[in-house]
């Protein structure tokens, strides 16, 4: 059976996210881009709507609506403001990773705080200054103490790191054994020995904050260990599989915003005595953008569907993230080109969309890393040819 219809619940989540985004996010997205203001109130409002735990069980404060509903909601939020959507994406990823790999007491302690907005945002502390695409090369260590663990090291590019109430932190517990010597820890934002540095000045996503972190003798209890000792690397990669569906969805939201803005513009703007839209060259470019975004949408929803079915989805998530982020890059570039000089100014949204979209080919695994993941599975697994 093949079914392209959404369920009533999926439609409800999508429409709820859409209405909220139109009403509360879109009007101030350009201002957040200009001022860099972190969206505290907006995240609290997302929490109230269940959007900080879309795929998290209800007893933990989530909406329990599944991975497809999450992908749909993420698109709607990103379509209005990608900066808000990235904090939403990482918080959902952190909540989900605790539900999946944490003990019941860990889930009970941390997840409701994330889904309710009490902890405001979750942060994912994996990358380091010298370990980005290759996180197994991390230098942060966690050493045993009589009561738990002592974490020392530095992390880089941590989304929401200066506002997060909870961090998942990856550290080497056995530096001699590479990836198998990495463990994951749950560290509260106010833990002493954890500090964050200056916010990065980025090309886009200015309403989201990105900071480096330092761990100087940061002590946590035994109960902070997430999953088994030495399981951290697999936990990170499994979390990133789901995260990549989120970034693919975010890309789709931004791509749609670019297409919609351009569709309006080319009908209104007249040159040579007719609307831009009357030119076949313009029509063909829009047709290509729309077709690529539709292909990206199907890849993304299929990856989410496989996740929801409990099927392997690593390759599908990487394909979705790779294709959606690259298609959206092309969509935003076309949008700026078709807006002409106006597209290069802040008078129209497409300039911000182009800047916001650029990082989608970089974070949660660069396009090159996605190709590596896809090719490895293609060449090694029984599913080689696909589907």
| Contacts to ligand CAA by CB under 6 A | 86, 90, 124, 126-127, 133-136, 159, 179-180, 233-234, 237-238, 240-241, 314, 363-365, 369, 372-373
* Per annotation, catalytic residue among 76, 316, 351, 364: 364
Tokens of 368: 């090159």
Rounded CA-CA distance 165/367 in Å is 30
Q: What are the residues whose beta carbons fall under 8 Å from the beta carbon of 325, sequence distance 6 or more?
A: 247, 248, 251, 357, 360, 361, 367
**Shortest Å distance, C-beta 314 to ligand CAA:** 4
- Residue among 241 and 292 whose Cβ is closer to ligand CAA: 241
**Shortest Å distance, C-beta 243 to ligand CAA:** 6
- Residue among 326 and 364 whose Cβ is closer to ligand CAA: 364
What does the DSSP assignment read for 159-225? ETTTT-SEEEEEEESSGGGGGGGEEEEEEETT-TTEEE-PPP--SS-TTS-EEEEEEEEEEEEGGGE
Residues paired with residue 214 on neighbouring β-strands, in sequence order:
154, 195
**Shortest Å distance, C-beta 379 to ligand CAA:** 13
**Shortest Å distance, C-beta 4 to ligand CAA:** 27
- Residue among 148 and 230 whose Cβ is closer to ligand CAA: 230
**Shortest Å distance, C-beta 126 to ligand CAA:** 5
**Shortest Å distance, C-beta 89 to ligand CAA:** 7
Please say whether the beta carbons of 238 and 307 come within 8 A: no
Alpha-helix runs per DSSP H in 21-122 = 26-35, 40-48, 66-80, 82-101, 104-116
Q: Is 279 left (phi over 0), alpha (psi -120 to 50) or beta?
A: beta
Q: What are the residues whose beta carbons fall under 8 Å from the beta carbon of 40, sequence distance 6 or more?
A: 120, 163
- Residue among 108 and 376 whose Cβ is closer to ligand CAA: 376
260 counts as catalytic: no
- Residue among 49 and 136 whose Cβ is closer to ligand CAA: 136
Element (H, E) at 142: strand 141-145
- Residue among 180 and 214 whose Cβ is closer to ligand CAA: 180
CA 355 to each of CA 138, 260, 335: distance values in angstroms, whole numbers, following the listed order: 29, 17, 12
Residues serving a catalytic function are 364
């Amino acid at each position: 059976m093949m079914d392209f219809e959404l369920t009533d619940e999926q439609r409800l989540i999508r429409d709820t996210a859409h209405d909220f985004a139109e009403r509360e996010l879109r009007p101030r997205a350009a201002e957040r881009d200009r001022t860099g203001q972190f969206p505290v109130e907006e995240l609290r409002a997302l929490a109230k709507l269940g959007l900080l735990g879309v795929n998290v069980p209800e007893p933990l404060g989530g909406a329990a609506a599944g991975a497809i509903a999450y992908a749909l909601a993420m698109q709607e939020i990103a379509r209005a403001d990608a900066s808000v959507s990235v904090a939403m994406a990482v918080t959902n990823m952190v909540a989900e990773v605790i539900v999946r790999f944490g003990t019941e007491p860990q889930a009970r302690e941390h997840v409701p705080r994330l889904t309710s907005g009490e902890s405001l945002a979750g942060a994912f502390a994996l990358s380091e200054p010298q370990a980005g695409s290759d996180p197994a090369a991390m230098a942060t260590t966690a050493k045993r103490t009589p009561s738990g663990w002592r974490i020392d090291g530095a992390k880089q590019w941590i989304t929401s790191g200066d506002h997060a109430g909870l961090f998942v932190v990856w550290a080497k517990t056995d530096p001699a054994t590479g990836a198998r010597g990495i463990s994951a820890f749950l560290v509260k934002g106010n833990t002493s020995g954890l500090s964050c540095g200056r916010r990065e000045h980025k090309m886009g996503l200015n309403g989201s904050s990105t900071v480096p972190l330092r761990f100087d003798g940061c002590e946590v209890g035994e109960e902070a260990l997430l999953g088994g000792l030495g399981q951290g690397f697999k936990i990170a990669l499994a979390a990133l599989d789901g995260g990549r569906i989120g970034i693919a969805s975010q890309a789709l939201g931004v791509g749609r915003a670019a297409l919609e803005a351009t569709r309006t513009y080319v009908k209104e703007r007249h040159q040579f005595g007719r609307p831009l839209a009357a030119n076949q060259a313009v029509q063909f470019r829009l047709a290509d953008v729309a077709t690529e975004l539709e292909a990206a949408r199907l890849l993304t929803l299929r990856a989410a569907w496989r996740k929801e079915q409990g099927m392997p989805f690593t390759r599908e998530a990487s394909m979705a993230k790779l294709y959606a982020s690259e298609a959206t890059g092309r969509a935003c570039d076309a949008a700026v080109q078709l807006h002409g000089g106006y597209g290069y100014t802040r008078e129209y949204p497409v300039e911000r969309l182009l800047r916001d979209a650029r990082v989608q080919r970089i974070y949660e695994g660069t396009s090159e890393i996605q190709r590596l993941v896809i090719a490895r599975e293609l060449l090694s697994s029984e599913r080689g040819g696909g589907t």
